[in-house]
Amino acid sequence: MPDDPKVRAELRAQIETRRAGIAAFLHEARPRRNRLTNISIISSAMAAVFVAGPALAGQPFTDSVKRELSLGSGADVWRPLCLAALIVSLVSVISSNLSKSQDLAARVTAAEVCTTELEGVLTSLQFGRLSVKDAVEQYHQSVSKVPFVEELPDTSRALGESWRRSLS
């Protein structure tokens, strides 16, 4: 594979375009992962709070709340608390399973590792410490770890004909 400056520049452009796609993915995925995790944690804690009074204090708790709120029976106290606990528990389970089913944590980690590896390839390529052939190989190894990250629309233009020919 020839190591001419034009091919080297096209490869650098391809790496930059791919890094931009990964950055766009991370920009969207990190907040989503954090949001789902926080919803799950907060909902779980709220479920525990809603059942803590009746579970720990029992009848004295329900009688006290019934008197303070002028409710008719103890069931008027614990039923809404149990219903609230059920609802927030359900929210917690759904958010946790959404995060796991989409494997957000692993995908974010893989994308972060890939962008770091591509930065290393780009730096080595830019300062001539890596041949184009080796850089292409490392590039492919890195991006193969993030098949879930879509390429940006102009990626195909960044990969010029001379680079394609040099891969043959």
CA distances from 3 to 9, 39, 130, 137, 163 (A): 10, 51, 10, 14, 10
DSSP codes joined into one string, 46-99: HHHHHHHHHHHH-HHHHHHHHHHHT-SSTHHHHHHHHHHHHHHHHHHHHHHHHH
Q: Would you state the pLDDT for residue 140?
A: 95
Q: What pLDDT, in 10s, does the model give residues 19-72?
A: 999 999 999 999 999 999 999 999 999 999 999 998 998 889 989 999 999 998
Give residue 150's domain range: 5-167
The pTM is what?
Answer: 0.74
Total domain count, the chain: 1
| Number of C-beta neighbours around residue 59 at 10 A | 10
